[in-house]
Amino acid sequence: MSLKAPPELIVFQQMADVPYNWSLGREGSLFLIALRDEKKFLGIKCPSCGKVYVPPRKVCGPCFTANSQWVEVGDEGVVTAFSVVNYRFTDPATGLPREVPYTFAFVRLDGADTKLCHKLAETDPARLKVGMRVKAVFAEQRTGNIEKDVIHFRAVQA
């Protein structure tokens, strides 16, 4: 057997539906409970450098300090990056085919230093831009799942 590069690359394709559960821990649970029960976004602030994380995380990345101070951040923010998707697939949140096009964006909420990824209501690339202001649109019935509890973010008129 030769250890040189093979004459062809073999591609193995398999579709796997692997259900799983995991604990969100204290930080993730408090974040989702506030979304579910109060329609509020909570962040967690580093006591050393002051960085506010949304979604919250236990330890500050730059300082390695345990985050401890909970802060409420806004439900509005700015788009820092986006992608309009034109590929149809089954949405894991609903189990239904997602209609195309749809837009995913990184949103930095007012009062936060980090970004969260979520859907935008706008799908027209000509109307989308980095820096645009957006606001969360909450579902009437919330269950503690950010993909369902926040339907999408919509543009805020300047």
Mean pLDDT of the residues in the chain = 89
Residue 2, pLDDT above cutoff 60: no
Flag whether pLDDT at 18 surpasses 90. Answer: no
What pLDDT score does 125 carry? 92
Reading the block at residue 36, the tokens are: 């579910």
User: Residue 5 has what pLDDT?
Assistant: 63
Describe the strand order of the beta sheet including 41-45 as a list of residue ranges.
52-53, 41-45, 69-73
Asked if the model's pLDDT at residue 113 lies above 70, the reply is yes
Total-model pTM: 0.82
Mean of the pLDDT values across residues 96-107?
90
Q: In this predicted structure, what is the pLDDT of residue 158?
A: 61
- Whether the pLDDT of residue 68 is over 80: the answer is yes
- In the chain, domain spans: 25-155
pLDDT band at residue 87 under the 50/70/90 scheme: confident
**What would the pLDDT profile of 114-139 be if each residue is shown by its tens digit?**
999 999 999 999 999 999 999 999 99
Residue 100 has pLDDT above 70, yes or no: yes
Portion of the chain with pLDDT greater than 70, in percent: 90
